[in-house]
Structure 1
Amino acid sequence: MHQRSFRNSLQSPWQGGKTSGKMFFVTGRKVASAANEKRSIYQRFRGYELMEKRRTETALKAGEDRALFLGLSMVFCSIMMYFVLCITMVRSYTDSVWTEESICTILNSSLIMEVNCSYSCGSDCWRSSRYPCLQVYVSINATGRIGLLSYNEEAQDISSECFYVPKCQKDHTAVNVMMANISETLKAQQQVWCYYDPKEQQSVILLSRLYGSGAMFHSLFWPSCMLAGGSLIIFMVKLTQYLSILCEHISKMPK
Structure 2
Amino acid sequence: MLGKKVVTAQKRGETRALCLGLGMVACSMMMYFFTGITIIPSYKKSVWTKETMCKLLKANIKDKVQCLFNNDASDENIFRYPCLEVLVDLNFSGQEVMLYHNEETKERNPKCSYIPQNLENYKEVKKLIDIIAGNFREKQIFPCYYDPEGREKSVILERLYPQEKRYFAYVWPSLMLIGGVLIIIMVKVSQYVSVLSAWQYKTNI
CA-CA distance at 1:170 after TM superposition: 5.3
CA positional deviation for 1:93: 1.1
Gaps of 5+ in 1: 1-50
Paired amino acid for 1:249: W
Which residue of the partner structure matches residue 84 of structure 1? 34
Q: 1:60-139, aligned counterparts within 5 Å?
A: 60-117=10-67, 126=76, 129-139=79-89
Unaligned runs of 5+ in 2: none
Q: Is the 8 A contact 2:55 2:92 kept in 1?
A: no
CA positional deviation for 1:114: 2.7
Give matches, 1:154-233, under 5 Å: 154-166=104-116, 167-169=118-120, 171=122, 173-233=123-183
Q: Counterpart in 1 of 2:192?
A: 242
Q: Secondary structure at the match of 1:126?
A: helix
CA-based RMSD of the aligned residues comes to 2.4
What SS class does the counterpart of residue 47 from structure 2 fall into? coil
Aligned mates of 2:86, 2:121 — CA distance in 1: 25
* C-alpha displacement of 1:126: 1.6
Q: Is the 8 A contact 1:118 1:126 kept in 2?
A: no
Query: TM-score normalized by structure 1?
Result: 0.71
Preserved CA contact (<8 Å) 1:99 1:198: yes
**Corresponding residue number in structure 2 for 1:56:** 6
Q: Deviations over 1:178-215 (max 9, x none)?
A: 22221111110111221111111111111011111232
| Identity within the alignment, % | 40
Shift of 1:60: 0.7
Aligned equivalents of 1:143 and 1:252: distance in 2? 85
Instruction: Give the Cα separation in 1 of the matches to 2:93 and 2:36.
Output: 32
3-state SS of 1:177 partner: helix
Give the Å deviation of 1:113. Answer: 3.4
Task: State the SS of the aligned residue for 1:252.
Answer: helix
Partner of 2:98: 148
- Find the residue that maps to 2:125 and give its secondary structure: helix
Task: Please state how far the C-alpha of 1:127 moved relative to its aligned partner.
Answer: 6.7
Rg larger in structure: 1
Task: Evaluate the alpha carbon distance shift between residue 142 and residue 111 of structure 1 in structure 2; reply closer, same or farther with a 3 A threshold.
Answer: closer
Query: How many Å apart are 1:225 and its aligned residue?
Result: 0.8
Q: Following TM superposition, by how much is the alpha carbon of 1:87 offset from its aligned partner in structure 2, in angstroms?
A: 0.7
The superposition leaves residues 198-238 of structure 1 with CA deviations (integer Å, 9 ceiling, x where unpaired) of 11111111101111123223322111111110110001101
Give me the whole-angstrom Cα distance separating, in 1, the residues matched to 2:129 and 2:143.
20
TM-score, normalised by the number of residues in structure 2: 0.86
Give the partner amino acid of 2:119.
C
Q: How many residues align?
A: 200
Larger RCO, structure (CA 8 Å, separation 6 or more): 2
